[in-house]
Amino acid sequence: MSRTGPWHTPLDGIYHDNSDCGTGRGLKQRIEGSGGKRLCAECGKLDRAEESLHRVQWWDGRRAIGQ
């Protein structure tokens, strides 16, 4: 999973920013940037999952070095 720079397609009212989003990956026409649109729900979910994963890894790292 990876969060990336935003992209959108002219036909949708949403933008994507996660390379694991099935909808975003399937777009035929990709334009760089958010286009002032709102974030895709699937990308939002993936981004949140990614953030919590990073938090867990950070805590595990702290535990590993005994702090």
Tokens of 29: 């026409």
Q: In the complex with Zn ion, which residue's Cβ is closer, 9 or 21? A: 21
Residue 54 Cβ, how far from Zn ion at the closest point, in Å?
A: 19
Q: From the list 24, 34, 37, 51, which residue makes contact with Zn ion (rule: CB under 5 A)?
A: 24
Q: In the complex with Zn ion, which residue's Cβ is closer, 9 or 40? A: 40
DSSP structural state of residue 35:
T
Residues 34-53, interacting with Zn ion (CB under 5 A): 40, 42-43
The answer to whether 21 and 46 have CB atoms below 8 angstroms apart is yes
Tokens of 50: 């990614």
**Sites of contact with Zn ion (CB under 5 A):** 16, 21, 23-24, 40, 42-43
